[in-house]
Amino acid sequence: MTSRDIVEKFLAFEKKHGHKEISNVSLIPENDPTLLYVNSGMFPLVPYLQGEPHPLGKRLTNVQRALRFFEDLDNVGETNRHTTAFHMLGNWSLGDYFKEEQLTWYFEFLVETLGLDIKKMYASIFAGDIDAPKDEESMEVLKRVFAKYGVSAKEGERIFAYGKKDNWWKRGEAVGELGGPDSEVFYYIGESGDGFGRNPVENQNDFLEIGNSVFMQYKKTETGWEELSQKNVDFGGGLERLALVLQNKRDIFETDNFWPIIEQVQIMSGKKYGVEKAHTKAMRVLADHMRSSVFMSMDGVLPSNREQGYILRRLLRRMTRAGMVLGIDAKVDLSPPLVGVVAETFSWLYPDLKNKQALIEKIFVEEESRFEKVLVTGKREVEKTLTVFTGNCGDLVDEAFNLYQSFGYPLEIFLEDVNDRGIEVDAEGFEIDFKAMIKKHQQMSREGASQKFKGGLADHSDEVIKYHTVTHLLHMALRQVLGAGIIQKGSNITKERLRFDFSYDRSLTDEQIEQVEGVIRNAISKKLPVGFEIMSKTAAEKVGALHAFDEKYGDEVKVYYIGEGLHDAISKEFCGGPHVNNTQELKSLSVYKQKSVGEGLQRVYARFEGLS
């Protein structure tokens, strides 16, 4: 069964049970500084899981591309299942059905639609702790589900109870985050028997998680977790992992999601997959990183030294090093043949990808060229170091790390340089010390990132919701002062400020800024109600609701308006929310910074008055 078959069968099954399909959105999060990339299928649904009505109703489904970088990067290539990019099959209940329906339906999909062997299937539940009791309800549902297919399910044999580490899902640590117990489904992929009685967590090489139903019953508070009035279901199932099981593989890179790329790498390198460990690892790195990089570039990311662009640059340079391991001639562009394979392989899911292929190839080739220059520069630095080398291997490790951090100079090439000089080092010990330094640096980077990307819409704090509403007023005020040609091109909101990008070819004058701030103050002083209506996209456009023209919307949309009614509102925009109930809850806004961020594109930063 192909990956396309799996997706089509899943969406058809969900629609049969009343779910409406929502879009597969960009990897680049909009209006949320807490994430570098969309890392789960539920990302677009945060407001609705908080209680905002969704224009398509309470039952939703989709397939969503996602990326996990820091979590899985070091494992890519080392294992048969870790990847940076993946696709999540998802379904949601927004305060509608709950555990009984979710668990029953998913097993029905696995057994009756996909034809998986129930005897190789195992499940987990939350064991309970100080924040929430043991999930006995899911336990009883699972026992009935297994019995339906003729299997007796006892705890410790087919159903396993785990603690928070394994069976409690939360999106983040911020106050306001949703979370709750989850129930995972595992499939036995071992080489003998059906895995009966074995603990999946303790035997991870022989079991594969193929679905996780999160029961969002709780909300994070300052003191712990409190029960929600709206209980949600958030299900995610990895497409690539389901493909592994259904295509009878033990290696995710042998499925149709990766194998076409591996085949092209074999042609380019003259090496065979699965023969030598180093070559197999390098091929996995190439296949995974190329797929992830193409998806990033498809969504508009360019290589750089910052944020999303930095991650793309790291992946591209890791690919170049993997190509070196495979002996692929550095003078031959590595990217074009592989970009083409990814575009062809996923054209069924991303029809526009082929149209972007040529541009992506150009960007990747230019980055390869830059990295070649990095290697030349690095060689010069190595020569300087080795010329004055005094025999202290600790200094060599420091130098290798500095070159890696500063230039991306690969450790394996550094060791080759050392060997060429006739300097003897314990390569294994050297590598252990080097990796320890990297791990320490990565931990510091993660801690820094967790500070940088704190807050945002993820926590739905009162301050963030206020900034979300005043952003609409800012958009309205800019159009009133500068003209109706002003259109929003992006925004970013934290607890401390808002950032707003819009179409304009020059900086605002002091007088224009004062006028914009005045329009907003006036709207706040009128104590205008804030409401929404759900309507067809066509009807919303007819009443003048603004929206991003490069973003996909469903047939039904939610329009938030500021005023006594939709038709005479001072602001109306396509938006998921949430918002304040009345402008009197807001404070006056001060524009404190502005800059040009591209041709015909201006950015302003603003915060509520009284903040600094």
> pLDDT category, 297, cuts 50, 70, 90?
very high
The 10s digit of each residue's pLDDT in 563-581 is 988 888 999 998 877 889 9
26, pLDDT greater than 90: no
d(CA 224, CA 129) in angstroms, rounded, equals 12
**Cβ-based burial of 429 (10 A; exposed 0-12, middle 13-18, buried ≥19):** exposed
Average pLDDT over residues 386-408: 74
450, pLDDT greater than 80: no
Specify the CATH class of 3-254 in words.
alpha beta
Specify the CATH class of 462-608 in words.
alpha beta
The 10s digit of each residue's pLDDT in 233-242 is 999 999 999 9
The 10s digit of each residue's pLDDT in 331-372 is 667 889 999 999 999 999 999 999 999 999 999 999 888 888
> At 391, phi and psi to the nearest 5?
100, 5
Average pLDDT over residues 481-502: 87
> pLDDT category, 449, cuts 50, 70, 90?
very low
Q: DSSP assignment of 98-165, as one string? A: -HHHHHHHHHHIIIIIS---GGGEEEEEE---SSS---HHHHHHHHHHHHHTT----BTTTEEEE-HH
> pLDDT category, 451, cuts 50, 70, 90?
very low
Neighbouring CB atoms inside 10 A of 482's CB total 18
> pLDDT category, 290, cuts 50, 70, 90?
very high
In this structure, of 166-170, 312-316, 334-338, 370-374, the range with the lowest mean pLDDT score is 370-374
pLDDT value for 444: 58
> pLDDT category, 445, cuts 50, 70, 90?
low
pLDDT value for 455: 34
Q: Which amino acid is at 253?
A: F
In this structure, of 50-64, 271-285, 348-362, 373-387, the range with the lowest mean pLDDT score is 373-387
User: What residues contact residue 237 under an 8 Å CB cut-off, 6+ apart?
Assistant: 10, 88, 89, 90, 106, 210, 211, 212
The 10s digit of each residue's pLDDT in 183-210 is 999 999 988 889 998 999 999 889 999 9
Q: Contact, 477 vs 516, CB < 8 A? A: yes
Average pLDDT over residues 63-88: 82
Q: Which is higher by pLDDT, 110 or 50?
A: 110
> pLDDT category, 505, cuts 50, 70, 90?
confident
**Cβ-based burial of 320 (10 A; exposed 0-12, middle 13-18, buried ≥19):** buried
392, pLDDT greater than 80: no
Collapsed DSSP state (helix, strand, coil) of residue 267: helix
Q: Which is higher by pLDDT, 34 or 415?
A: 415
pLDDT value for 525: 93
pLDDT value for 328: 87
pLDDT value for 453: 39
The 10s digit of each residue's pLDDT in 422-437 is 787 777 788 888 878 7
pLDDT value for 454: 41
537, pLDDT greater than 70: yes
Residue 493 token pair:
């909101």
Q: Contact, 19 vs 89, CB < 8 A? A: no
Mean pLDDT of the chain: 86
pLDDT value for 33: 56
> pLDDT category, 447, cuts 50, 70, 90?
low
Region class of 149: left (phi > 0), else alpha (psi between -120 and 50), else beta: alpha
Beta bridge partners of 178: 219
